[in-house]
């Protein structure tokens, strides 16, 4: 957040004199499509004229890279569009690029990013900077595969991304849940924790055998959020954290998150390598997978509904890995999305790609080849479609879908994530002696700058 904000403001400063311009033809097409005047055949025809689509996505997974080249590229070339899959190291890089180009005065039809795979903070940043194409998702033919009715509770993940309204500016691509795995060779079934109190009891008996990804990585942030939900002093779990910073006072937020953060602070001396003085937090999921495979930790908590099945097929998980329900009642569930930036050079081709990605065919092959859960809603599909998705699943190992659904919890509002992340860094990493109220108040002030 801070890095991209600083970067963006630097660029904005340099480009302050630039005039906002856009390609008139692309702008006319965008307006026609978003107002519902362009029919889908016209979109497909224009996509063929545009010829290519630049998809920016995190390229750290071999499985996903193979799927893009082997499945997505041929499917799109049948539609007369060449896929240019740009593998990036961090999604923020693509967001920075979009913002830099926007601030340099590049409008629709003139940028270089047609589509980004993202969620949470990155989407919130693009939305705040008004750098999204518009409400395209409900207009796609395959939007029928998604629940858009706000009266249906299940539509929440399509309408809100980390509490931020998607407004149709991004289309769901994959659904995930934060699921932990344990190594059955090292942990007896009766010792497997179900609550945060169980986890501490386990670590008191087996110090150093657990760690979580370091915030501000989203996997670390999510673990912290779950601890906060579970220790909510009002017992209302995730509920108050759906509000944005504008709706909740700093003092009130501090009261709600204090018990969770205190728990994490007390847990710290029991984490990996803490006996040697400094606890070790892995930088990302790959590093955590390495620790889990090597038996340095007994548990691996991350977004990974099918992580065990996939990890066994690629050799990145130990053979005895099993999933389990933890923490009871607060297993965060969310989706990740495909967004089209405001300055997409090929808006029609991006729409065609977004539509194909939400098809049953795409979702089933993605699930089968990469283990990434389906992002479309099974109850909206016909019987054959729902069956195709079910058949493609690599399967859960040691837990049932019903148990996961029963313990699901929603994400924290993206604006609160920033505050909680800053508080964690201050209170836990830097061991600040200030009370949590002061730290949260400071984070509020920094955020409003």
Partner 1 sequence: MATKSDTSLSSRLSPFQRFYLIVIAGFILGPFIPLLIQSFAFRWAWPDLLPGTWWLEQRGKSMMPLAWDYVLSPYSRVWEATVNTVAIGLIVTVICLAICLPAARVLAREKFRGKSAFEFFLSLPLIVPEAAIGIALLMMFIRLGLAGSYVGIIVAHLIPTIPYMVRMLTAVYQGLGRDFEEQAMILGASRWQVLRLVTLPMLLPGVVAGALFTFLVSTNIFLLTFFLGQGQIVTLPTLLFSKIAGGTLDASAAGITLIVTLPGIILLIISERFIKEEAFGKGFGN
Q: Which residues bind partner 1 (CB under 8 A)?
A: 7, 10-11, 14-15, 18, 54, 56, 59-60, 62-63, 65-66, 69-70, 84, 86-90, 93-94, 97, 100-101, 104, 106, 112, 282-287, 289-290, 293-296, 313-316, 318-319, 369
- Report the residue number, 69 or 239, with the smaller CB distance to partner 1: 69
Q: State in angstroms the smallest separation of the CB of 82 from partner 1.
A: 14
Sign of CA dihedral 201, 202, 203, 206: positive
- Report the residue number, 163 or 318, with the smaller CB distance to partner 1: 318
Angle at 66 between CA 58 and CA 395, to 5 degrees: 90
- Report the residue number, 98 or 132, with the smaller CB distance to partner 1: 98
- Report the residue number, 290 or 435, with the smaller CB distance to partner 1: 290
Q: State in angstroms the smallest separation of the CB of 365 from partner 1.
A: 11
- Report the residue number, 102 or 231, with the smaller CB distance to partner 1: 102
Report the candidate in 108, 161, 162 with the shortest Cα–Cα distance to residue 131: 108
Q: State in angstroms the smallest separation of the CB of 106 from partner 1.
A: 8
- Report the residue number, 155 or 316, with the smaller CB distance to partner 1: 316
Number of C-alpha atoms within 13 angstroms, CB side, residue 61? 17
- Report the residue number, 23 or 418, with the smaller CB distance to partner 1: 23
- Report the residue number, 117 or 427, with the smaller CB distance to partner 1: 117
Q: State in angstroms the smallest separation of the CB of 122 from partner 1.
A: 15
Q: State in angstroms the smallest separation of the CB of 286 from partner 1.
A: 3
Q: State in angstroms the smallest separation of the CB of 220 from partner 1.
A: 14
- Report the residue number, 112 or 243, with the smaller CB distance to partner 1: 112
With both helix axes pointing from N to C terminus, report the angle between 360-370 and 347-357 in degrees, rounded to the nearest 10.
Answer: 70
Q: State in angstroms the smallest separation of the CB of 321 from partner 1.
A: 11
SS (H, E, C) the chain: CHHHHHHHHHHHHHCCCCCCECCHHHHHHHHHHHCCCCCHHHHHHHHHHHCEEEEEEECCCHHHHHHHHHHHHHHHHHCCCEEEEEEECCHHHHHHHHHHHHHCCECCCCCCCCEEEECCHHHHHHHHCCCECCCCHHHCHHHHHCCCCCCCHHHHHHHEECCEECCCCEEEEEEEEEEEEEECCCCCHHHCCCCHHHHHHHHHHCCCCCCCCCCCCHHHHHHHHHHHHHCCCCCCCCHHHHCCCCCCCHHHHHHHHHHHHHHHHHHHHHCCCHHHCCCCCCCCHHHHHHHHHCCCCCEEEEECCCHHHHHHHHCCCCCCEEEECCCCCCEEEEEEEEECECCCCCHHHHHHHHHHHCCHHHHHHHHHHHCCCECCCHHHCCHHHHHHHHHHCCCCCCCCHHHHHHCEECCCCHHHHHHHHHHHHHHHHCCCCCCHHHHHHHHHHHHHC
- Report the residue number, 11 or 156, with the smaller CB distance to partner 1: 11
Q: State in angstroms the smallest separation of the CB of 44 from partner 1.
A: 25
Q: State in angstroms the smallest separation of the CB of 283 from partner 1.
A: 5
Q: State in angstroms the smallest separation of the CB of 176 from partner 1.
A: 18
């Amino acid at each position: 957040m801070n890095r991209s904000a600083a970067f963006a403001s630097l660029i904005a400063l340099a480009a302050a004199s630039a005039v906002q311009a856009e390609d008139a033809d692309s702008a006319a097409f965008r307006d026609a499509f978003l107002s519902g005047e362009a029919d889908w055949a016209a979109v497909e025809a224009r996509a063929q004229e545009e010829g290519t689509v630049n998809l920016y996505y995190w390229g750290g997974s071999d499985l996903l890279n193979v799927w893009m080249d082997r499945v997505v590229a041929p499917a799109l070339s049948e539609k007369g569009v060449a896929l240019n899959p740009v593998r990036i190291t961090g999604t923020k890089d693509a967001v920075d690029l979009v913002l830099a180009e926007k601030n340099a005065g590049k409008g629709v039809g003139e940028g270089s990013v047609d589509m980004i795979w993202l969620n949470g903070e990155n989407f919130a940043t693009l939305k705040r900077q008004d750098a999204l194409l518009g409400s395209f998702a409900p207009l796609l033919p395959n939007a029928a595969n998604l629940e858009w009715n706000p009266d249906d509770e299940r539509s929440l993940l399509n309408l809100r991304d980390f509490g931020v309204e998607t407004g149709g500016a991004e289309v769901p691509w994959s659904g995930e849940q934060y699921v932990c795995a344990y190594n059955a060779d090292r942990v007896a079934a009766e010792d497997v924790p179900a609550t945060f109190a169980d986890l501490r009891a386990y670590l008191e008996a087996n110090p150093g055998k657990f760690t979580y990804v370091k915030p501000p990585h989203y996997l670390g942030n999510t673990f912290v959020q779950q601890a906060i939900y579970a220790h909510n002093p009002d017992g209302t779990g995730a509920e108050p954290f759906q509000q944005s910073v504008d709706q909740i006072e700093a003092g009130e937020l501090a009261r709600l998150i204090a018990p969770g953060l205190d728990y994490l602070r007390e847990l710290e001396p029991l984490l990996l390598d803490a006996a040697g003085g400094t606890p070790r937090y892995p930088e990302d999921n790959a590093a955590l997978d390495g620790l889990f495979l090597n038996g340095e930790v007994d548990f691996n908590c991350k977004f990974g509904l099918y992580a065990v099945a996939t990890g066994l097929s690629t050799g990145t998980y130990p053979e005895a890995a099993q999933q389990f329900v933890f923490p009871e009642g607060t297993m965060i569930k969310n989706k990740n999305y495909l967004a089209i930036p405001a300055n997409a050079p090929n808006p029609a081709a991006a729409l065609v790609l977004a539509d194909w990605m939400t098809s049953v065919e795409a979702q089933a092959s993605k699930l089968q080849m990469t283990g990434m859960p389906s992002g479309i809603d099974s109850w909206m599909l016909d019987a054959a479609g729902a069956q195709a998705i079910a058949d493609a699943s690599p399967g859960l190992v040691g837990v049932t879908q019903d148990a996961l659904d029963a313990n699901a919890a929603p994400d924290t509002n993206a604006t609160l994530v920033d505050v909680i992340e800053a508080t964690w860094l201050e209170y836990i990493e830097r061991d600040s002696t200030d009370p949590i109220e002061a730290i949260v108040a400071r984070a509020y002030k920094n955020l409003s700058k």
